[in-house]
Structure 1
Amino acid sequence: MGRVVVVGSLNVDLVTSVEVHPRPGETVIGSGLDRYAGGKGANQAMAAARAGSGEVLMVGRVGADEGGSLYRTRLERTGVDVSGVLVDDSEPTGHALIVVDEDGENTIVVVPGANGRVSESDLGPVHACGPGDVVLLQLEIPLPVVAAAVRLAHERGARVVVNVAPFASLPPDVVALADPLVANEHEAAALADAGGVPASLLVTFGAHGASWDGVEYPAHTVPTHRVRDTTGAGDAFCGALAAALASGADRATAMDAALAAGAAAVQHHGAQPDPHLV
């Protein structure tokens, strides 16, 4: 059984609820302000750990502040190895400002903070990877570091899973090394417009399931009244997918696990189960 090494972001999410999202120039009143654990990298590491199929190691940076300290402790309690999560003295822990409407749809503004200082020198855990391991990445850290991690993981014989979120163009060789490259419908369209040609493409369609290299997989149905918050559903999907692949699962089994994790994620508030960062 291989390890899952997640290279990515850790954010403190500040979340409020509104009836409807404001239009440009409009002010609306929010209800409540909660502080949650978030960041695509850490969300996916938590999801992989919750899958319970093997060792999960997180690579990234937090600030030398309360949020960063609490986050490292939280990950450790869940069983994530945080030896690769460095404490940065120059920038605060990253934050995300999230607004959720009555239908559970969200808008997100990310302030990178320490995530923007992740560097190639932080990739020691990727150097230690080998065949059977899965290295999972997203695009909330500097893109040159993402590219370096993908190439390094491939050189070491590890499987690379790249979630192109939030979307940005990557070098063609990096796109081609992903197995798979994971995108939602909008990201897949942007990838096509940018001329990216992945060797293996997995597209998610929310409540309509997913497609991996043209093979369709149905979603796990969630009744409308049970949908609380779509924040982090894609991250839960990616983390569970990586964990299943690291355990040696075939595509169908890995996809079923990933779709189940995504369906479970929309039934709770925040990007992680019991997400309050206290």
Structure 2
Amino acid sequence: MHEDPAPLPYDLLVVGSANADLVVGVERRPAPGETVLGSDLVVHPGGKGANQAVAAARLGARTALLARVGDDAHGRLLLDSQREAGVDTGGILVGGAPTGVALITVDPSGDNSIVVSPGANARLTPEDIRAAAPLFAAARVVSVQLEIPLATVAETARVLAPGTRLVLNPSPPAPLPDGVLAACDPLVVNEHEARSILGEAAGPAPQDWAAALLAQGPRSVVVTLGAEGALVADSRTGGHVRVPSPKVHAVDTTGAGDAFTAALAWRLGLGEPLAEATAFAVRVGAAAVTREGAQASFPTAGEVAAP
């Protein structure tokens, strides 16, 4: 049995990006130099940080977001979506550059390709992190991604309060600053991110990737495997555990990884063991792919199927 942790104002503080997602459906993604026709443009609130915050709040987590948006219509869209989900928006900074934008194409299978223009996300600085010390002191778990400057990610890892757990999804993949990997508990990666970090050291199977990633310093690793679920490896217990996914019909995978990571971070903050928290997160990610969009697809706790 795990002990219930003492309450803090926030179950989860998300530090990361907030983008407007500009989505177009295509029959197939264009080859280099090719033009294809797509569906009407749809604009959704998105960005890995904003997505995670909304996903956690919709599940019932007391959530805060530390991010930066522009003083523009896209920024207002993002602020409204956070408030509607119940996220504390006191940490969202406004101004400095236009709101970040993600250009997304989705094919009939639900797979997507994404190009991100960081905009205001690139202006979230280490100074902003230090100025947000009260938010960090009030959160049991901090989740961060790589759509903000690497120096800001490093500062996030550095200012963690004692006992606060850091969850990192290194997306889009980039060389991580010293000390960041060692603070991760867990490092959450998909196959592309694992192979990008490991390079030639990547083995043929997910358990090989997890073992090689653990050797680089994180306390635990979760490898997401899409329809195959996830694999969990923890340096404190040794070995690995496969967590299966329920079978669902995928409509749109946009944001599913963010929903997974948010659910995982929340349940870890509640004191659940890593494998148990991952099993819940897999069900959340599976539910998210059955609906179109990112934040609009995120389930409530009541909508997540029991194992």
Q: Which residue of 1 aligns with 2:27?
A: 19
State the 1:156 CA deviation: 3.5
CA RMSD of aligned residues (A): 1.8
Q: Which residue of 1 aligns with 2:174?
A: 168
User: How do 1:19-98 and structure 2 match up within 5 A?
Assistant: 19-52=27-60, 54-88=61-95, 90-98=96-104
State the 1:138 CA deviation: 0.3
Distance 2:188 2:172 in 1: 11
Does the CA contact (< 8 Å) of 1:126 and 1:135 recur in 2? no
Aligned length: 269
Look up the equivalent residue of 1:82 and give its one-letter code. Answer: T
> Compared with structure 1, are the counterparts of its residues 178 and 210 closer, same or farther at alpha carbon in structure 2 (3 Å cutoff)?
same
Does the CA contact (< 8 Å) of 1:132 and 1:159 recur in 2? no
Distance 1:68 1:110 in 2: 15
Distance 2:133 2:31 in 1: 43
- For residue 254 of structure 2, the aligned residue among 220, 223, 231 is 231
Distance 2:178 2:127 in 1: 23
> Compared with structure 1, are the counterparts of its residues 257 and 125 closer, same or farther at alpha carbon in structure 2 (3 Å cutoff)?
farther
State the 1:199 CA deviation: 2.7
Q: Which residue of 1 aligns with 2:266?
A: 243
1:10 aligns with 2:14: no
Q: Deviations over 1:70-90 (max 9, x none)?
A: 2112201211001000001x3
- Percent identity of equivalent pairs: 48
Look up the equivalent residue of 1:234 and give its one-letter code. Answer: G
- For residue 110 of structure 1, the aligned residue among 105, 110, 116 is 116
State the 1:265 CA deviation: 0.9
Paired residue secondary structure (1:136) = strand
Q: Which residue of 1 aligns with 2:229?
A: 209
Q: Deviations over 1:193-243 (max 9, x none)?
A: 288612311110100111111211111221xxx311011110000011111
Distance 1:144 1:250 in 2: 30
Look up the equivalent residue of 1:120 and give its one-letter code. Answer: P
Distance 1:220 1:274 in 2: 17
> Compared with structure 1, are the counterparts of its residues 251 and 274 closer, same or farther at alpha carbon in structure 2 (3 Å cutoff)?
closer
Look up the equivalent residue of 1:141 and give its one-letter code. Answer: I
Q: Deviations over 1:103-135 (max 9, x none)?
A: 111110000000000011222345543497000
Look up the equivalent residue of 2:257 and give its one-letter code. Answer: G
Unmatched 5+ stretches in structure 1: none
State the 1:157 CA deviation: 2.8
Q: Which residue of 2 aligns with 1:151?
A: 158
Give the TM-score, by structure 1 length: 0.92
Distance 2:133 2:52 in 1: 17
Deviates more, 1:126-135 or 1:94-103: 126-135
Structure 1 runs of 4+ with >4 Å offset: none
Deviates more, 1:11-20 or 1:245-254: 245-254
Distance 2:77 2:162 in 1: 33
Look up the equivalent residue of 2:28 and give its one-letter code. Answer: V
Distance 1:126 1:244 in 2: 23
Paired residue secondary structure (1:31) = coil
Q: Deviations over 1:139-182 (max 9, x none)?
A: 000000001101211x4431000001111110242111100000
Unmatched 5+ stretches in structure 2: 1-6, 202-212, 234-239, 299-307
Distance 1:259 1:178 in 2: 19
Higher relative CO (Cα under 8 Å, sequence separation at least 6) belongs to: 1
- For residue 136 of structure 2, the aligned residue among 110, 126, 129 is 129
Distance 1:220 1:98 in 2: 26
Does the CA contact (< 8 Å) of 2:188 and 2:223 recur in 1? yes
State the 1:191 CA deviation: 1.5
Paired residue secondary structure (1:180) = strand
State the 1:274 CA deviation: 5.9
